[in-house]
């Protein structure tokens, strides 16, 4: 990727969704953090209004795996990790209703990776719209061994023949003004997203790290993330540096994926920025 961008075809509105929370050790986000330190991190979703309709980045939890006692024991049995749903219904449906956007207005979905807090809502889109992911991520998630589930990648969330996968092998533009950037390490096919805002809404843009960098600390101090597959902790720093470079060369904000301070603040500021934009 270069620092150039095409004019007149960028994203016209950004809506951040909070699809739940996770009460967990800080060491999940910062490798080597003291085990007694805990955080309540938001579960992110991002809506981007592009040419052709709304693009959704990430889909939150599958609430059935949390609410049903037997399924919760199977999939969320770790007492150190507590998923928190935002309401009594489907998190994604509730968040979209709050944003005033109908589910059928979403014309495309992309997932940063297949962890349960990002891919749990994919069932809403099976047989409906294309779902973009990295090929390496889906190959790992569908591998016939228990390792993915040991890493909180639950095949039940995405192993559906009705899902219309749009798979990439590296960086690719997935919609006008939205580029997926391969940032493997946290998972084998993790991807982040560079979002170019249209000049009609003031231009500029954002880089969404998702789990390549959970917290501001990961970015500012180049600290390894706590979760990784097939790499060393130190190797997770390189994607952070790449995202920092991409953001700096464009003058864009680099947004950490689960920061409990940054996410609600940016949610409010973007809501204010696009309050009058359809």
pLDDT band at 141 (very low <50, low <70, confident <90, very high): very high
Burial of 268 (0-12, 13-18, 19+ CB in 10 A): exposed
Superfamily (CATH H level) for 13-270: Ribonuclease Z/Hydroxyacylglutathione hydrolase-like (3.60.15.10)
Question: Over pLDDT 90: what percentage of the chain?
Answer: 94
Q: Over 60: is that where the pLDDT of 112 sits? A: yes
Q: Are strands 13-25 and 38-50 parallel, antiparallel or unpaired?
A: antiparallel
Predicted pLDDT of residue 172: 98
Predicted pLDDT of residue 3: 47
**What average pLDDT does the segment 25-52 reach?**
97
Q: Over 50: is that where the pLDDT of 23 sits? A: yes
Average pLDDT, the chain: 95
Give the residue extent of every domain in the chain: 13-270
Predicted pLDDT of residue 144: 82
pLDDT band at 145 (very low <50, low <70, confident <90, very high): confident
| Each residue's pLDDT tens digit, 232-266 | 999 999 999 999 999 999 999 999 999 999 999 99
pLDDT band at 61 (very low <50, low <70, confident <90, very high): very high
pLDDT band at 115 (very low <50, low <70, confident <90, very high): very high
- Comparison of pLDDT for 18 and 145, the residue scoring more: 18
pLDDT band at 167 (very low <50, low <70, confident <90, very high): very high
Question: Over pLDDT 70: what percentage of the chain?
Answer: 96
Smallest Cα–Cα separation from 186: which of 223, 230, 150, 154? 230
């Amino acid at each position: 990727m270069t620092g150039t961008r095409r004019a007149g075809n960028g994203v016209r509105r950004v809506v951040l969704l909070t699809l739940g929370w996770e009460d967990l050790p800080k060491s999940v986000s910062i490798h080597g953090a003291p085990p007694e330190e805990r955080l309540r991190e938001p579960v992110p979703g991002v809506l981007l209004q592009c040419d052709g309709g709304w693009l959704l980045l990430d889909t939150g939890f599958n609430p059935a795996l949390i609410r049903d006692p037997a399924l919760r024991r199977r999939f969320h049995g770790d007492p150190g990790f507590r998923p928190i749903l935002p309401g009594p219904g489907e998190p994604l449906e509730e968040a979209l209703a709050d944003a005033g956007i109908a589910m059928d207005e979403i014309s495309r979905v992309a997932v940063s990776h297949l962890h349960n807090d990002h891919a749990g809502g994919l069932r809403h889109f099976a047989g409906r719209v294309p779902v973009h992911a990295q090929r390496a991520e889906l190959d790992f998630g569908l591998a016939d061994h228990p390792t993915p589930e040991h890493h909180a990648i639950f095949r039940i969330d995405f192993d559906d023949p009705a899902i219309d996968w749009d798979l990439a092998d590296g960086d690719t533009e997935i919609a006008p003004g939205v580029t997926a950037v391969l940032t493997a390490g946290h998972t084998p096919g993790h991807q982040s997203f560079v979002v170019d805002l249209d000049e009609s809404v003031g231009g500029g843009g954002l880089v969404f790290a998702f789990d390549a960098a959970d917290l501001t600390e990961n970015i500012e101090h180049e600290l390894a993330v706590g979760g990784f597959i097939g790499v060393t902790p130190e190797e997770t720093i390189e994607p952070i540096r790449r995202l920092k470079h991409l953001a700096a060369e464009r003058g864009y904000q680099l947004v950490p994926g689960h920061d409990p301070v940054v996410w609600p603040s940016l949610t409010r500021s973007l809501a204010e920025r696009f309050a009058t934009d359809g």
